[in-house]
Structure 1
Amino acid sequence: MSVSDPVADMLTKIRNAGLARHEKVDIPTSKLKLEIVKILKTEGYIKNFKKITQDGVNTIRIFLKYDEKQNPVIHGLERISKPGRRVYTGYKDMPRVYNGYGTLIVSTSLGVTTGKKAAEKKVGGEILCTVW
């Protein structure tokens, strides 16, 4: 099955697995998806992840994180830039997610990074998604 927007498919799988209280979720791997998952790990939205190979297919296994009441740590994932409508921003106009409580993931010329780090490096780029 071909997917027209693999990043949106990954975000939907993570969102649905969190709402269903799953321990882990497997997604097909790509370099962009791996960079997004690394940011989710460093920002504390997921427990851990690892790359696995099953029957010659590379996948990323993401271990979801929950609070003490078993509510998912990820309250929302939203894809901003879509294949039909790309959204770009400069470092001066970098939007904030929930007044700084959320995270903006941006694809810059220096790689995939958070909105805060991109603004510190004074580099803009394509807004991939927001996480809160």
Structure 2
Amino acid sequence: MAINDPVGDMLTRIRNAQMRGHKVATTPASKVRGWVLDVLEREGYIRGYTRVEEVGNKVHFEIELKYFDGEPVIQHIKRVSKPGRRVYSAVNDLAPVRNGLGISIVSTSKGIMSDAAAREANVGGEVLAQIY
């Protein structure tokens, strides 16, 4: 089965795994998913991830989810820009998520980064997701 929205699929797998209380979520590997996971790890929303190669040349990521006092660190994860409706934002229009308590993941010309890093680099781009 073909996946039309790989980033949205990964975010849904993370959301579902946390609702069930799993320690690890798995998702097929790709460069874009890895870059989004790098941002989530850098910002402290996941413990980390590892690339696992299976038999038959299939590769997937195992994402270590993060919990605090039994509650998931990621309380809300939402895909903003979808294949049917792309959402772009200039650097001046990147509003803080939950008054700075959350992040937006932005795909810019300088790579995929958080909204704070995009403001610091003075670049806008496609808003992929919001997390808090």
Matched residues in 1 for 2:122 and 2:71: separation? 36
Give the match's secondary structure for 2:71.
coil
Q: Which residue of 2 aligns with 1:101?
A: 101
For 1:85 and 1:94, the matched residues in 2 are separated by: 18
The answer on 1:117 being equivalent to 2:120 is no
Number of the residue aligned with 1:19: 19
Code of the residue aligned with 1:33 in structure 2: it is: R
- TM-superposed deviation, 1:96: 1.4
Q: Residue in 2 aligned with 1:73?
A: 73
In structure 2, how many angstroms separate the alpha carbons of the residues matched to 1:11 and 1:131? 10
Distance 2:15 2:53 in 1: 23
Give the secondary structure class of the aligned counterpart of 2:67.
Answer: coil
2:3 alignment partner, SS class = coil
Distance 1:89 1:46 in 2: 26
Residue in structure 2 matched with residue 51 of structure 1 by the alignment: 51
- How far off its partner does 1:17 sit? 0.2
**TM-score, length basis structure 2:** 0.97
CA distance in 2, matches of 1:95, 1:52: 36
State the one-letter code of the partner of 2:40.
L
TM-score by length of 1: 0.97
Work out the number of aligned pairs and report it.
131
Root-mean-square deviation (CA, aligned residues, Å) is 0.7
Matched with 1:32 is 32
Q: Which residue of 1 aligns with 2:84?
A: 84
Runs of 4+ in 1 over 3 A off after TM superposition: none
Q: What's the offset of the Cα at 1:40? A: 0.6
Per the alignment, residue 42 of structure 2 pairs with 42
